[in-house]
Structure 1
Amino acid sequence: MADLMNVARKEFRGFFASPAAYLFMALFVAACLFVFFWGEAFFARNVADLEPLFDWLPLLLIFLIAALTMRSWSEERRSGTLESLLTSPVSLWQLVLGKFVAAFGLLCLALALTLPLPITVSLLGPLDTGPVIGGYLATLFLGAAYIAIGLFTSSRTDNPIVALMVTVLICSLFYLIGSGLLTGLAGYRLGQFLELFGTGSRFDAITRGVLDLRDIYYYLSLTGVFLVLNVYTLEKLRWTGNPSSTTHRRWTAVTALAVVNLLAANLWLHPLKAIRLDLTENQLYTLSEATTEQLTTLQEPLQIRGYFSEKTHPLLAPLVPRLQSLLEEYQVHGGTQVMVEFIDPTRNKEAEETA
């Protein structure tokens, strides 16, 4: 543990020894202020919440964290200092976790600089702290996963620009997999399946103020997978000395086993529905016992269609995500017996007539 913290402190000080940390925090805060006050016309919504910020954070984090982590290992490889690290008495896990903790600490510091936003909003109107807490927790979980991805890709190349581009690509793919853009084209069943693997869909679930063990573990498992792959990548660099092939096979088998188990646990946890915490002030997404009982004892499949138009009146638009989230709660408690579908009637004439 002492070696890990020494590595973390060294890396953290290294961030501030160059303009990298200051530039990261400045860009992060500036981007947050931009999307919150200008990009989503905060005052026009007339609602005291941080939804405009959290809607854009998953995309902002992709580019900012990719830029933050791109030099973590690639610079070590290019400068030739990686060889000395690999032969040092510090274990590979301590080296990897040390760099991870340093980058995660910088992200926490950057997030702390945005705290004046919820304070300001609370002065303008009644602010439900549940979604705010959920949003910040979701950002930390998502940021941790992106950092792990960035460190892994940085360890695969000695070119920081390549590491930046690959990190952006991988993080973007994880975000797009569960996004409404892709799930809407895939159909209901396939769309529900894709949402299980998307970072964006999980992020939205937590930012509404509902903590679900399955969502939290998803981010932890994703973080763990790429940290394991990072260690494996560094270990492979030691194999130039031609150790026994048994060592190669053992490392490969252990890594594959760790990755498979971390990912498979998501499938094991998926049937669990009761380990959820509603952080909202008025328990907006907590169904009554009678409703829950009705949903769990359905004899026939129940299909619920929600018709929401993009051209909803500005005063009614803030209610749309709340209604969608409430309907999703019905689906969570109803399991496979409840199917919830959201339709924009303006995009389909037949759906418009049906609505």
Structure 2
Amino acid sequence: MAAIFIGAFLLAVMFSFFWLETFFARNTADVRGLFRWLPLLLIFLAAALTMRQWSEEQKMGTMEVLLTLPVCLAHLVLGKFVAVLLLVALALALTLGLPLTVSFMGHLDWGPVCGGYLGALLLASAYLAIGLFVSSRTDNQIVALLVTVLVAGFFYLLGSAGITDFMGTSLAELFRNLGAGSRFASIERGVLDLRDLVYYGSLTSLFLLLNVVSLDHSRWSKGANTRAYRRGALAAAALMAANLLAVNLWLAPIHAARLDMTEHREYSVSTATTDLIASLPEPLLIRGYFSAKTHPLLAPLVPRIRDLMEEYRIASGGRVTVEIVDPHDNPAIEAEANQLYGVKSLPFQVAGRYE
């Protein structure tokens, strides 16, 4: 069964990389399109691999046997977790053919590739922990699959542009810090941020802890003799969750713990630029005008410019605000760009998908 899920995952990766990301039309030797879709594809892979881990045990009546074994519950949970994590690692390893092929076609920067796979494994760990917890709460595999997709999808969409665009700056930043998908944006471009790694580790630890509490809860007696134990277990879980939240909040304003893994340090802000941003007398708005449809040869430049603007925003500590707009969606913005900044619409002859 796992082989079928991994095979479907690989087919989805190939389709998104070559078709949705139009790799050949972009004429650029990178695998950024691979990592752009991994946060979404890993949701379904993790849900499929974890849906029967505990629910099948409950359905077949073997859960009672496991719970009576002289084995720590944490060890049982970690055993299940490591097993499915190895399957995901195998699935990710099978995608290495893509960067290897691209490296033969042109010069490939391997720094972002290594960072991307590390981030993908950490993100998958969080999704797997969610799936194991959900599976422990039901004996129906389909229910476990759907609920895992919903919960993991919620964390994925939490910090997405479709939600944060309708919020103020402070609230949007908070949601970006809570979103699993938005956290992956830095990793996608080749920047490893300590805050992102701690976030994925915290999310994984939290749901593994909830998994242990959930299994332990199934063998609790409802009598008064175990009331103190039950309260202590729940209090310990709540304290652990509070500590993980506190660590992430403490790291939130720290912007220096970032590693630019690109070959030429493309996303490293120089000291002079940092000093200039720090000396700004008032908040600065950087607005980027990007059309949704552009020439395929220019399309790879769009995410690079966006990423550099994002690095300025992160390095500013709140002094710089970044805004991305499509002038074709708003005639007023298009007129403003033309009149004030001389940004004019320039039509291109857009070729087909593979031309």
Measured in 2, the distance between the counterparts of 1:37 and 1:339 equals: 34
In 2, the alpha carbon distance for the partners of 1:344 and 1:225 equals 39
Q: Verify: 1:268 aligned to 2:268, yes or no.
A: no
**Equivalent residues in 2 for 1:274-313 (5 A)?**
274-313=256-295
Alignment counterpart, residue 103 of structure 2, candidates 118, 122, 128: 122
Deviation at 1:299, TM superposition (A): 2.9
Look up the SS of the partner of 1:306 in the other structure: strand
Residue 318 (structure 1) aligned to one of 300, 310, 328: 300
Instruction: List structure 1 runs of 4+ shifted beyond 4 angstroms.
Output: none
Kept in 1: contact 2:220–2:226 (CA 8 A): no
5 Å-filtered alignment, 1:38-187, equals 38-187=19-168
Contact 2:277 / 2:316 at 8 angstroms: preserved in 1?
yes
Tell me if the contact between 1:138 and 1:206 (Cα under 8 Å) persists in the aligned partners.
yes
Instruction: Quote how far apart the aligned CAs of 1:186 are.
Output: 2.6
2:346 is matched with which residue?
Answer: none
| Contact kept in structure 2, 1:66 and 1:164, CA below 8 Å | yes
Instruction: Give the TM-score taking structure 2 as reference length.
Output: 0.92
For residues 316 and 65 of structure 1, what CA distance do their matches in structure 2 show?
Answer: 35
1:250 corresponding residue in structure 2: 232
Partner of 1:211: 192
Q: Distance in 1 between matches of 2:256 and 2:33?
A: 29
Give the direction of change, closer, same or farther, for the CA distance of 1:259–1:70 in structure 2 (3 Å limit): same
Question: How many angstroms apart in 2 are the aligned matches of 1:213 and 1:296?
Answer: 22
- What secondary structure is seen at the aligned counterpart in 2 of 1:277? strand
CA offset digits 1:145-200 (Å, max 9, x no partner): 00000000000001111000000000111111111111123344322221111111
- The amino acid across from 1:216 in the alignment is L
Which residue does the alignment assign to 1:16?
Answer: none
Aligned-partner SS, 2:219: helix
Q: Which moved more, 1:86-95 or 1:234-243?
A: 234-243
> Contact 1:188/1:341 (CA < 8 Å) preserved in 2?
no
Question: What is the match of residue 202 of structure 1?
Answer: 183
* Aligned counterparts of 1:346 and 1:218: Cα–Cα separation in 2: 37
Please tell me the residue identity of whatever aligns with 2:183. R
How large is the Cα RMSD of the aligned pairs? 1.3
2:333 equivalent to 1:351: yes
Give 3-state SS (helix, strand or coil) of 1:303's partner: strand
- Displacement of 1:293 after TM fit? 1.4
Aligned partners of 1:135 and 1:319: how far apart in 2? 19
Residue 246 of structure 1 aligns with an amino acid whose one-letter code is A
Query: 1:209-264 CA distances to partner (integer Å, 9 max, x unpaired)?
Result: 00110011111011111011101101101113644210111001001110111122
2:351 aligns to what? none
Aligned partner of 1:34 in structure 2 is 15
TM-score (norm 1): 0.92
Match of 1:10 in 2: none
Name the CA distance, whole Å, in 2 between partners of 1:39 and 1:319: 17
Q: Are the aligned partners of 1:304 and 1:338 in contact in 2 as well (CA < 8 Å)?
A: yes
CA gap of 1:52–1:24, structure 2 versus 1, over 3 A, is: same
Contact 1:70–1:163 at 8 Å: present in 2 too? yes
CA drift at 1:312: 2.2
Contact 2:290 2:324 in 1 (8 A): yes
Q: Is the 8 A contact 2:6 2:45 kept in 1?
A: no
Deviation by residue 1:100-151 (Cα, 9 ceiling, x = unmatched)? 0111011111111111110100111111112211221121011000000000
For 2:6, give the aligned amino acid.
M
Between 1:92-101 and 1:293-302, the stretch displaced more is 293-302
Q: List runs of 5+ in structure 1 lacking aligned partners.
A: 1-19
Q: Check conservation: 2:290, 2:326, Cα contact below 8 A.
A: yes
**Contact 1:63–1:168 (CA under 8 A) maintained in structure 2:** yes
The amino acid across from 1:327 in the alignment is M
Shift of 1:70: 0.2
Residue 336 (structure 1) aligned with residue 318 (structure 2): yes
Q: Which runs of 5+ in 2 are unaligned?
A: 338-355
Equivalent AA in structure 2 for residue 181 of structure 1: G
